[in-house]
Amino acid sequence: MTEPLSWGAIFSAAKAGHAIIDEKKRNVFIKKLNLLFRSNRKIVVFGLSGAGKSQFINCLKKNLIIAERTDTTEKIKFELDKFPIQFIDTPGQAGRHYPRKEELTKILKNGVEGIVNVISYGYEENPEFSFDDIFTPTKEVKESFLKLNRKAEVERLAEWLPLIHPNDIGWIINLVNKADLWWDNLDDVQKYYNKEDYNDAFKQIDNYTNVVTLPFCAIIKPYYDTKTSGKFGEIQKEQMHNHFTHQLLNLLKED
């Protein structure tokens, strides 16, 4: 597996207008696609409930009204830099009426151009968590809680990674959302997603699919209305949005 770029290198590459995608793999993928399929530009968004999938789409397509929990698969079409795309927002939790695994299988079978996999270093928000599970008496977020969620993030991969066939998917972006909350731990977070268990899970598909990990912040917001890292501002957020948009358009544009 090729060594992933550090996030510092990613930012410099984006600033210089360079793509961070392996062109060789991308060209092979483009050849596999027929034009009709490519015109659809479907991108599916996966991730645990409360990771920020809907908020992520919302921050690209301004003024989208998002439900607190997504209950069913939703298709959101809009233009990004005049480029027509369609995001498929999936519910992170399996509700009574949403058989998630079957749905994910169907979505992948119907064909998508890429996957945005939203993770958040354990800072998922879910109405089913109790405050006592999340916070210490002094209102610090418990490390044990974050670890449990990170374990769930890895486990969730087992639901869709084995379904990926070399001819189906061009790229996967692992979007490490909620940078405003984990910014204090930047080095640990980067190491965790690029070098440890999480990265290992992608080794099986690395030969034929581009996998990129990018830091992101959909919105700056106190975690459960308590606190943020306090060291992350609108400027960094905008930079991350710009980097992401730049990379996504690179992936989507034909040579």
User: Which residues contact ligand GTP by CB under 6 A?
Assistant: 47, 49-55, 66, 69-70, 91-93, 125, 177-178, 180-181, 217-219, 221, 223
Give me the amino acid identity at 148. Answer: L
Residue closest to ligand GTP, measured at CB: 92
- Contacts of Mg ion in 63-122 (CB under 5 A): 70
Closest distance to ligand GTP from the beta carbon of 160 (Å): 14
The answer to whether 178 and 120 have CB atoms below 8 angstroms apart is yes
Closest distance to Mg ion from the beta carbon of 45 (Å): 8
Q: Looking at the chain, list the stretches that DSSP marks H as alpha helix, in order from N- to C-terminal side.
A: 7-15, 23-32, 35-40, 53-60, 100-110, 131-134, 143-160, 179-182, 186-195, 197-200, 234-252
Cα–Cα dist 234/237, whole Å: 5
The binder of 88, among ligand GTP, Mg ion, none, by C-beta within 5 to 8 A per type, is: none
- Contacts of Mg ion in 216-255 (CB under 5 A): none
Q: What is the SS3 assignment for 231? A: coil
Which of 181, 212 has the CB closer to ligand GTP? 181
The binder of 25, among Mg ion, ligand GTP, none, by C-beta within 5 to 8 A per type, is: none
Q: In terms of C-beta density within 10 A (0-12 exposed, 13-18 middle, 19 or more buried), how is residue 210 classed?
A: buried
Q: Assess 54 for contact with Mg ion (CB under 5 A).
A: yes
The binder of 142, among Mg ion, ligand GTP, none, by C-beta within 5 to 8 A per type, is: none
The answer to whether 4 and 20 have CB atoms below 8 angstroms apart is no
Please state the φ and ψ torsions of residue 62, each to the nearest 5 degrees.
-55, 155
The binder of 180, among Mg ion, ligand GTP, none, by C-beta within 5 to 8 A per type, is: ligand GTP
Which of 68, 225 has the CB closer to Mg ion? 68
50: left (phi over 0), alpha (psi -120 to 50) or beta: left
Closest distance to ligand GTP from the beta carbon of 207 (Å): 29
Q: Judged by CB under 5 A, which stretch of 46-54, 154-162, 167-175, 176-184 contacts Mg ion?
A: 46-54
Q: Which residues contact Mg ion by CB under 5 A?
A: 53-54, 70
